[in-house]
Amino acid sequence: MTGLDARVRLRRGAIDIDVSLRAGAGEVVAVLGPNGSGKTTTVLALAGVLPLEGGHVRVGDELWEEVGRRRTPQERHVGLMLADSLLFPHLRAVDNVAYGPRSRGLPKGESRTRALDELDRVGLSALVHARPRELSSGQAARVALARALATRPSLLLLDEPLAALDPDTRARTRSDLAARLTAYDGVTVLVTHDPLDALTLADRLVFVEDGRVTQTGTPADVLREPRSAYAGTVVGLNLYAAHGDSHGHVAIEGGGVLVTTDPTEGRVWATVPPGAVSLHRHEPEGSARNAWPLRITDVTLQGQSARVGLAGELTLTAEVTLESVSALALHVGQAVWASVKATEVRTYPR
């Protein structure tokens, strides 16, 4: 059984990175964070491309690195897949996949047999003789995955593996990737900006911001209680650092007040689902105990709904139907009222 126990400590440019990662055999860990937070640097350190300045990397019962002791990238059982598939243009799919085991000393016949097996596992048996220019972007990504796994790695590193794909191709390839990872008994570290990739592929999420881990937990843990503004954005919630009292009043740091029927005293996180935010042309009447005059900062269409960014006394995102966008003639710069029922505001300790 192969598990990962790593603490990556190094400085790269202006970022001082200190990231711990742990996973059991067969688990997928998704690493998420804003651009420049240290995600790719962490992956390159696990692969041995960047040396550690502190910490360690252990895979199974093998110590891959600590200060003063280090295996080279070639000495680590690592598979790597990037957003760009980087397939050799002059080689057929089977030869691209066979290249990895061949480079590690496996005989030509065995390497080819293994390559055919891996291509079959990702559903490309009919395209083993195709060259990269004859493959779609999704098919090329699956060949790159097969190549990464053909060396039988203990650790599989996926750095934005679906980022270059269009939405339809991405959805199909994500499904293929999920199926293949289910049968992989090593540890997978997935770097992604896409919440859907993380929530559907990973057993555990690790949020990295400014080189530090700000939250770790299962997707269910994070969906229930995000603990940083970035994590809140990823799971699609309005998240506020605030102070609550026993009467259900929640004072948001930076300005604004919420009322909740779920009071938590002291330093709290407060969440509001975007779908719970109603928009009005005039001050609303009725049961909503939270209402503010705000101004629209952006409108983004997502399928049959729209996410509307709002600013004023507080910053808020609403999710409304396209019918509401049309009926209210919503547009950037427009003044509107936003309301939220107190029952929709949730708080939990920071």
Torsion of CA 243, 245, 250, 255, to 10 degrees: -50
Of 108, 109, 103, 128, which is closest to residue 118 (Cα–Cα)?
128
With 80 as the cut, is the pLDDT of residue 331 above it?
A: yes
d(CA 221, CA 204) in angstroms, rounded, equals 9
The domain limits of the chain are: 4-230, 237-349
pLDDT digits (tens, 9 = 90+) for 31-88: 999 999 999 999 999 999 999 999 999 999 999 999 889 999 989 999 998 888 889 9
User: Parallel, antiparallel, or unpaired for β 278-280 and 316-321?
Assistant: unpaired
With 80 as the cut, is the pLDDT of residue 286 above it?
A: no
pLDDT digits (tens, 9 = 90+) for 136-172: 989 999 999 999 999 999 999 999 988 888 888 888 8
By the 8 A CB rule, do 158 and 81 touch? yes
User: What fold, for 237-349?
Assistant: OB fold (Dihydrolipoamide Acetyltransferase, E2P) (2.40.50)
Q: Give the burial class of 226: count Cβ atoms within 10 A of its Cβ; 0-12 exposed, 13-18 middle, 19 or more buried.
A: buried
Please give the share of the chain, as a percent, with pLDDT higher than 70.
99
Q: What is the pLDDT of residue 186?
A: 94
CATH superfamily of the 4-230 domain? P-loop containing nucleotide triphosphate hydrolases (3.40.50.300)
d(CA 191, CA 308) in angstroms, rounded, equals 28
Q: What is the pLDDT of residue 309?
A: 96
Q: What is the pLDDT of residue 147?
A: 94
d(CA 85, CA 149) in angstroms, rounded, equals 14
Neighbours of 224 (CB within 10 A): 13
Higher pLDDT, 303 or 33: 33
